[in-house]
Chains A and B, each alone.
Chain A
């Protein structure tokens, strides 16, 4: 049985793996955080607490799924579905291995940027339809944060696009045969990493859902599996950003041949997932205005200069 791009088996496997990995990350994150903070974390259910996720799932599926009577029902139900849909759709263009993927798209990078920008509607509608002060504040912050960081995310990618001469993610991976792009595009890589954290609004950039200031932000009114979809959507976003960094800057599936390509891909993405979790344990949350001025006054000029210098070097060689 061989895998090929776009076959039903490949699509099913990718979808299943991505969702299971995202769900397992809830446990991985809690265990890793505890490890770094010198405590044990969830280790009661099953070996090493591995079945904690199953217990959480049973709990969240059987909880009452309550829609507040004052909420705008249509948008309230739509919001969590948007985040899951756009992130799962983004996985469609990612090449997981030499012959593993869902579609071959010549506008792969643009497709991912489009999906990322549509993801902003999820948090905004969630907060707006809840008719709750904290939720509204959270989604206002989310809107500003996601629209701003999308800009730097797009510009930081353009260096890679210019070097490989394509928006196709598979071509981008193949162009890294000699040298992975994080060496010539180190600044682009760092900006993309920061923007990626901000786009998936994970700690330390979880300002839209900062517990200490605004309850739980945009998902304050959500319960049951609707909350679960926001939650899993966040982890899916984490997996997506890690795979994107692997594809764009770290040679995708490439590596020494003693391991199969797909394993190299998983290993590289795993390192970045662990890094994002460590980031959460290490850095405090910035203030909202600090985040915005950091983005517009520092990251934007830096990414523009990076693009300019990359273009000049490509032209001169």
Chain B
């Protein structure tokens, strides 16, 4: 199980890096899908099958399909690839690299302080739902109001 965790984690990290350096936008999107699926496997291994399934259905299966849909409509050709390539100089990576290194240091610092032996408790669909519609029902309602507002505004913009 722990091998699978590290394998999926490594795939997620490598494919996310590939998303950044890839100049062909469709290939970059494919790497992003791979990264999300690897994260879903990580969730599953850590005992959250429901989160894993939602990650695959909602992120990899729906949101990125819409990304691909938009890419299709935009008809991006060779010129965007050239533009991407000209932007991808080593100088561009300095500032993000430093900030990511800081974040990584902080992250490792925090991770080294928590208890090492990790016991995995599997959280099923029922437990998640009981929490969502029990103590966290207000958050669910707020999220649905936000989505409704987004829906209404998208409808308004499309009407124009």
Contacts and interface: CB of A to CB of B under 8 A. Distances in A.
Interface of A: 72, 74-75, 78, 105-107, 110-111, 113-114, 116-118, 120-121, 124-125, 127-129, 136, 139-140, 143-144, 146-147, 150, 154, 167
B69 A143 contact: yes
A106 B50 CA distance: 9
Contacts of B69: 124, 140, 143-144, 147
Contacts of B66: 147
Given A106-B49, A106-B124, A114-B53, A124 B30 contact: no
B60 interface: yes
B125 A106 contact: yes
Interface string B120-159: 0000110000000000000000000000000000000000
19 contacts: A105-B49, A107-B50, A107-B125, A111-B53, A114-B56, A114-B57, A114-B60, A116-B61, A117-B56, A117-B65, A118-B56, A118-B61, A124-B65, A125-B68, A127-B72, A140-B69, A143-B65, A143-B68, A147-B62
B135 to A, nearest CB: 21
B62 A121 contact: no
B65 A110 contact: no
A117 B30 contact: no
Interface of B: 24, 26-27, 30, 33, 49-50, 52-54, 56-57, 60-62, 65-66, 68-69, 71-73, 124-125
Contacts of A113: 53, 57, 61
A248 to B, nearest CB: 17
A124 B72 contact: yes
Q: Which of B33, B62, B72 is the most central at the interface, judged by chain A CB atoms within 10 Å of its CB?
A: B72
Given A111-B53, A143-B69, A125 B26 contact: yes
B30 A75 contact: yes
A114 B68 contact: no
Nearest to A143: B69
Contacts of B68: 121, 124-125, 128, 143
B125 A121 contact: no
Contact of B61 (A120, A128, A129, A136): A120
Given A75-B26, A147-B62, 20 more contacts: A72-B26, A74-B27, A106-B125, A107-B49, A110-B54, A114-B53, A114-B56, A121-B68, A124-B68, A124-B69, A125-B30, A125-B68, A128-B68, A129-B26, A140-B69, A143-B65, A143-B72, A147-B66, A150-B61, A167-B125
Given A139-B72, A143-B72, A107 B53 contact: yes
B27 A110 contact: no
B27 A147 contact: no
B32 to A, nearest CB: 12
Contacts of B73: 140
B27 A75 contact: yes
A120 B124 contact: no
A121 B72 contact: no
A107 B50 CA distance: 7
A196 B49 CA distance: 25
Q: Which of A74, A105, A121, A128 is the most central at the interface, judged by chain B CB atoms within 10 Å of its CB?
A: A121
Given A111-B53, A128-B72, A139-B72, A117 B26 contact: no
The 9 closest A-B pairs by CB, nearest first: A117-B61, A110-B53, A114-B56, A114-B57, A107-B49, A143-B69, A107-B53, A120-B65, A124-B68
B30 A118 contact: no
Nearest to A74: B27
A72 B24 contact: yes
A121 B33 contact: yes
Nearest to A118: B61
Contacts of B56: 114, 117-118
Contacts of B54: 110
A39 B52 CA distance: 50
Nearest to B54: A110
A118 B72 contact: no
A136 B69 CA distance: 10
A116 B56 CA distance: 10
A143 B26 CA distance: 15
B60 A118 contact: yes
Q: Which of A105, A129, A147 is the most central at the interface, judged by chain B CB atoms within 10 Å of its CB?
A: A147
